[in-house]
Amino acid sequence: MNLKRVVVTGLGALTPLGNTVPDFWNGLINGVSGAAPITRFDASKFKTKFACELKNFDPTDYLDKKEARKIDPFTQYALVAADQAVADSGLLTDKVNPDRIGVIWGSGIGGLQTFQEEVVNYAKGDGTPRFNPFFIPKMIVDIAAGHISIKYGFRGPNFVTVSACASATNALVDAFNYIRLGKADAILSGGSEAAVTEAGIGGFNAMKALSERNDSPSTASRPFDKDRDGFVLGEGAGAIVLEEYEHAKARGAKIYAEMIGGGMSADAHHITAPHPEGLGALNVMRNALADAQISPSEVDYINVHGTSTPLGDVSEVKAIQSVFGEQAYKLNISSTKSMTGHLLGAAGAIEGIASILALKNQIVPPTINHFTDDEGFDAALNFTFNKAQQRTINVALSNTFGFGGHNCSIIFRKFEE
């Protein structure tokens, strides 16, 4: 089969580092931490009292006030990031067929705030079932893709992928495959998450997954550091317009990069812990390389999952060394979660954007908050600690792994005609 080329023509980002793509990128390359004490609710009684929240975000700056009340924050975030990406791509022209444009989105949890509020309100009542008529439409995970398609009239493939923290990356792989198989001309893809709520913080605290470094939130996310103690919860959205190359070329679209491959795998090991030898991570990167039809020696940068958890960071590095061999010492590795926190189901979208912009600008964002070397990691590996590095980047790979053992990797290449 003659597969079509897939390129990136639009980007949108709503993140703890900034509410636009330029602000997000500027924060990344300057090593800014998005972590701070929680403002959304009183976190004084929680073990973790900080998160990577959005800053200066008011949904009514972007959405009609009445409409904003009818949708959960995770959908609000999706619509804002999608609007940026659509505008950036110039996709809304009479040169495109809306029947051939789709929306494939990702979210790990969906409308958690809505679910929490409705259940709490019911529990406080007299037992009479009084629920908001928008409860279900606000909460369900697929609704973000539905709202995006309704807003723009995109009538192509439309659904949401749910694979915990791998959700947005899975969405991008699905979008990539639909386009290269000729089933769509363009697909708006990405992911959103809004889990900085009492239920989100409390639930992850109960699992002992979150950092409890309340005395220094800005340094709490420290991937590959000896004293890492868990991830920092983040929120926001990332949107990427993927488009068939000839279609993009015909309408004169600007092109950021080319997506050349995607891989998926399962750990088949444990509901939350990664495989200790990184078997699932090893397989997913090999699958992505095979799909892209490139060798490990061609990869220059890996945006790692790198959550700052004791077990996860170790297993991912083991997998990288197994897959890349000597090339592991020639490439740059960095975890942008050290700055953004972990956006769960949206992580793969904003990290995909970070990888695309690294290619475009030939700069590797850093892994910040490195203070103490961990003897468990090979010191000869380049983790891009604390400061961005300029280098030649022709190929970038991005990893995301989710609870349940879901693994997904995507590969972008510097665009050439």
Known active-site residue 165: yes
DSSP string, 66-111: HHHHTS-HHHHHHHHHHHHHHHHHT--STTS-GGGEEEEEE-SS-S
Backbone angles phi, psi at 339, to 5 degrees: -110, -45
Q: Which of 297, 280, 236 is nearest to 408 (CA)?
A: 280
- Domain 265-413 matching CATH 3.40.47.10: the answer reads yes
Amino acid making up residue 174: D
pLDDT for res 79: 98
Angle in degrees, CA 193, 196, 198, rounded to 5: 135
Q: How many helices (H) and strands (E) does the chain have?
A: 13, 14
Tokens at 212, concatenated: 């409890």
Q: Which residues contact 254 (CB under 8 A, 6 or more apart)?
A: 9, 90
Domain 6-250 sits in which CATH superfamily? Thiolase/Chalcone synthase (3.40.47.10)
Q: Check if 6-250 and 265-413 are the same fold.
A: yes
How many Å separate Cα 104 from the centre of its chain? Answer: 14
Amino acid making up residue 81: A
Helix (H) or strand (E) holding 36: strand 36-37
Q: Which of 235, 244, 268, 285 is nearest to 75 (CA)?
A: 235
Q: How far is CA 40 from CA 8, 220, 366, in A?
A: 34, 19, 28
Q: Where are the domains of the chain?
A: 6-250, 265-413
Q: How far is CA 378 from CA 249, 286, 369, 375, in A?
A: 44, 21, 18, 7
pLDDT for res 120: 95
pLDDT profile of the chain (417 residues), mean per 10: 94 98 98 98 98 97 94 98 98 93 98 97 91 96 98 98 98 98 98 98 98 98 98 98 97 97 97 93 98 98 97 97 98 98 98 98 98 96 98 98 97 94
pLDDT for res 1: 74
Backbone angles phi, psi at 24, to 5 degrees: -60, -50
Which candidate in 165, 239, 242, 357 is catalytic? 165
